[in-house]
A and B are shown apart, each in its own frame.
Chain A
Amino acid sequence: MSYDMHRYLTDPFQEIEELGGGLFKLNIGPQHPISGQGRFIVLTDGEIVYDIEVDIGYSHRGIEKILEYKNYIQAVVPLERMVMLDTSNILMGFVRAVEDLYGIEPPPRAKYIRTIINELNRISSHLYALGLFAESAGWNPAVFIWTTVDREPILDILEMITGARWSHSFFIPGGVRADLPRGVKERILDTMDYLERRLEVYEDAWIYNETFRMRTEGVGILPRDKALEWGAAGPSLRASGVKYDTRLNEPYSAYPELDFRIVTHTAGDSYARGWVRFEEIKVSIDLVRQAIENIPEGPVKKALPPRPVKEETLARAETARGEINFYIYTEGRDKPYRVKISPASFRNFFVIEQMPKIQEIKLADVPPLIYSFDPWFLDADR
């Protein structure tokens, strides 16, 4: 088979069915050092990659179907299982949708507590993602272990506030479960100072490291129009120059009252995606500081009215991996009739599949390309 790159440019959905001419399919996953709970079928002749197919669904739990059997409070627990690292942000979308359906607003203090927990989760998730990204670029696990170590104080704070390191089921429609414990403010501020010091070390050690840039710059360039068309989400979208962040574009929680910026990059390559994630950690640190300083007094939860006032809603929230949105249709009962979850990783996996069709990718580029999108199979599988 003679390979013709232009064949793809005309039809990006064409698959190579017949093999020949020294091409073979490489199964990266589901048991592979980098794969996670999914599989990447890579069509290659040794070094140059012609096609990537992402095989998701290894951990499909049918959360959308499960939610049809649960009421809105019970739904919180299965939902959190989508991304363990980022539980509160995933939940935020659902909680927003339910509050929209019932037509209520949470009390202001609850909004601030939500913001703090969301941003702590985002930092934790970004640190994890960046560690994996560095490892995928061929680093010894050093960076990954540094970031894992630095996530610990954040998880400690989350445990202090919610009682669990992750999957804390802390947000409920109408507010949060409990108020902040005593002494948490000093602890948060201390941790944020510590993290800022660590970020300076990271900058020296690997964000601006020459070999790291060699490996990731110019790999998997996602142009702005393609990013929009294929529906890239989160840092991947912002690294392609689209100034969009649900936290600002559709303000929720305490975000409209806080001062922050959207981190964007114009290059659109793997390095830009990692860089955006890194800068977002700094923004999140700033947000946590602002929120804990300005937190108002008052109650932290509100009771839901007996019946939803709306029939359907589409709520969006920004998770660490990008936008998540919930389309909920209800028949006016306390259970959803249909929940459609559209997570960020699901969209990003499709973008990964399309990348070899617009650009030459080498086999060694596949791990950094994939991990620059910060994929999470449980997120995509639901």
Chain B
Amino acid sequence: MIDPILDFIFTNLDPLIRIIIYPGITFIMLFTIFAVWYQRKFLARLMLRMGPVHAGKFAGWLQLIADSLKLLTKEIIFPEHSYKKLFLISAITLPVIPAAAIALVPFAPGYAIFNVRGYTGILFLAIMSLYPIFIVLMGWASNNKFTLIGAFRTIYLDVAGEIPLFLAALGVFVWAGTYDLQDIVAQQATMWFVIPQFLGFLVFFISYFAMIEKAPLDIPEAETELVFGYRTEYTGALFLDTMLGDYINVLAWGLMMITLYFGGYNGPAIFADPVLNGAFWILFKLIILLAITYTVIISYARLRIDQAIRLGWYYLIPLALLNLIITVILKYVVLEGGV
């Protein structure tokens, strides 16, 4: 009796399930909650601290819920002479952008929220490049000196970080011979692209810190001089919203890195169901990637903006171009013998 109903649901309501449950809103939200807890505990261990312990029976896992409830009950303050509509809209839109980009990432063979084929890799990068624009709008609408400087810095950092990142991704596209993310993941069943594209991966990994705005490239936020960068003036629920955008941004770029370089959902079959298996491997790789990210965050001092720009233009962009040239030569001359 149950099976026909389930069959009916899975055949007819499949897109809805993808959007609402997995890998859609519920997954993203649950992952954010997990990522916050994981970050707090992981960083705390590296700092010889305990991290949250009180809320929740196990290792303070309810701490974020408690924090969120507190923030939701707080007043939303609009700064004087701020552009109120933009102040509100840009903060609300911020988490939507990386979430929209996640819709293109395959979580199992032929399983993505927005299951299209073709130029999805380019589309992903195009959507993600909107994210800094909203940060700039937030900083500008707040009418505060600190947020304004944070917004300026976002533009500078974006130019220095996004271009090498896109060039590195282009190396993968050339190597795979396609822009399609599902094809790219499928091709990595035998060998992860991090091996032929190692140089590109290095560029991608460094630029990744500029894109997620975490130390050592958390220059727009720069707590020590800019208080909280572009989100200094946000309070209560809106602050929560900007933080949500931050974590979803990390998730989106992490998924992209796994998709491009670490074989996406590919992995030894543990579960019979390909969706479950894909989910397991993606989460497994994400957790390891986050651990590496947090270790880097804690190990380095923040660069100055001019040093970050020099890093981007003097080292990362030439490296990414070199990677592109090597890729072209390897693929079209060495492997296929002639252009």
Q: Do chains A and B touch in the complex (CB under 8 A)?
A: yes
Residues on A facing B (Cβ under 8 Å):
24, 26, 28, 32-34, 46-47, 134-142, 145-146, 149, 205-206, 209, 211-212, 214-215, 362-367
Given contacts A145-B47, A146-B48, contact A215 B225 (CB under 8 A): no
Q: Chain B contacts of A142 at CB under 8 A?
A: 43, 46-47, 298
Chain B residues near A365 (CB, 8 Å)?
304
B300 CB-CB contact with A under 8 Å: yes
Q: How far is the CA of A136 from the CA of B215 in the complex (A)?
A: 13
**Minimum CB distance partner of B302 in chain A:** A138
Pair A139/B47 contact, Cβ less than 8 Å: no
Q: Give 6 pairs: A residue, B residue, CB < 8 Å, sorted on A.
A: A137-B224, A146-B48, A206-B301, A211-B302, A215-B307, A365-B304
CB of A140 within 8 A of CB of B304, answer: no
Chain B: minimal CB distance from A328 (Å): 39
Cα-based distance from A214 to B304 in the complex (angstroms): 9
The stretch that binds A, out of B145-153, B160-168, B273-281, is B145-153
| Cβ-based interface call for B297 (8 A) | yes
B227 is an interface residue with CB less than 8 A from chain A: yes
Separation of A205 and B305 alpha carbons in the complex (Å): 23
Q: Which residue of A lies closest to B149 (CB)?
A: A46
Q: Report the minimal beta-carbon distance from B142 to chain A, rounded to whole angstroms.
A: 15
Q: Nearest 4 A-B pairs (CB), nearest first?
A: A138-B302, A367-B224, A211-B300, A211-B301
**Chain B residues engaging chain A, CB cutoff 8 angstroms:** 43, 46-49, 145-146, 148-149, 152, 215-216, 218-219, 222-225, 227, 297-307
Q: Which residues does chain B contribute within 8 Å of A137, judged by CB atoms?
A: 224, 301-302
A214 near B47: Cβ-Cβ < 8 Å: no
Beyond A34-B224, A46-B148, A138-B303, 5 additional contacts (C-beta under 8 Å) are: A33-B227, A146-B47, A146-B48, A363-B225, A364-B225
In the complex the two chains form, is B49's CB within 8 Å of A211's CB?
A: no
A140 to B46, CA, bound (A): 11
Q: In the complex the two chains form, what is the Cα distance from A28 to B145 in whole Å?
A: 11
Q: Is the CB of B48 within 8 A of A145?
A: yes
CB contacts (< 8 Å) of B297 on chain A: these are 140
Chain B nearest Cβ from A345, distance in angstroms: 19
In the complex, chain A residues whose CB is within 8 Å of the CB of B303: 138, 211, 214-215
Q: In the complex, which of the residues B227, B301, B307 contacts A139, with contact meaning CB atoms closer than 8 Å?
A: B301
The distance in angstroms between the C-alpha atoms of A223 and B148, with both chains bound, is 34
Expressed in whole angstroms, the Cα–Cα distance for A26 and B144 within the complex equals 10
Q: Report Cα–Cα, A248/B149, bound state, in Å.
A: 47
What's the least CB distance linking B83 to chain A, in Å? 18
Residue of B nearest to A140 (CB): B298
Instruction: For A362, give the chain B residue with the smallest CB separation.
Output: B304
Whole-angstrom distance between the Cβ of B227 and the nearest chain A Cβ: 6
Say how far B290's CB is from chain A's closest CB, in angstroms.
Answer: 15
Secondary structure dominating the interface of A:
helix
A136-B224, A364-B225 known; A215+B48 contact, CB < 8 A: no
Q: Which residues of B contact A206 (CB under 8 A)?
A: 301
A46-B152, A214-B307 in contact; A134/B301 too (CB < 8 A)? yes
Instruction: Please tell me if the beta carbons of A26 and B152 are within 8 angstroms of each other in the complex.
Output: no
B184 → A minimal CB distance (Å): 33
Most buried by B among A28, A134, A138, A145: A138
| Cβ-closest chain B residue relative to A42 | B225
Nearest to B221 among chain A residues (CB) is A138
- A137 to B223 Cα, complex, angstroms: 10
Given contacts A138-B215, A142-B298, A26 and B145 within 8 Å (CB-CB): yes
Least CB distance, B36 to chain A, in whole angstroms:
16
Shortest CB-to-CB span from B217 to chain A, Å, is: 10
Contacts of A145 in B (CB 8 A): 47-49
- Bound complex: CA of A142 vs CA of B202, how far in Å? 25
Contact B301 A209 (CB under 8 A): yes
**A32 pairs with B227, CB closer than 8 A:** yes
Give the Cβ gap from B32 to chain A, nearest Cβ, in Å.
Answer: 20
Assess A34 versus B225: contact at CB under 8 Å? Given A138-B215, A146-B48.
yes
B43, B47, B148, B306: residue with the most chain A Cβ atoms closer than 10 Å = B47
Q: Return chain A residues, CB-CB under 8 Å to B222.
A: 138, 364
B315 → chain A closest CB, angstroms: 13
C-alpha gap A122/B294 in the complex (Å): 33
In the complex, are the beta carbons of B305 and A138 less than 8 A apart? Answer: no
Bound-complex Cα distance A149 to B298 (A): 17
What residues on A are CB-neighbors of B152 within 8 Å?
Answer: 46-47
Which residues does chain A contribute within 8 Å of B306, judged by CB atoms? Answer: 47, 362
CB–CB B301/A215 < 8 A? yes
For residue B120, give the distance in angstroms from its CB to the closest CB of chain A: 35
In the complex the two chains form, is B225's CB within 8 Å of A149's CB? Answer: no
Inter-chain contacts of B225 with A (CB < 8 A): 28, 34, 363-364, 366-367
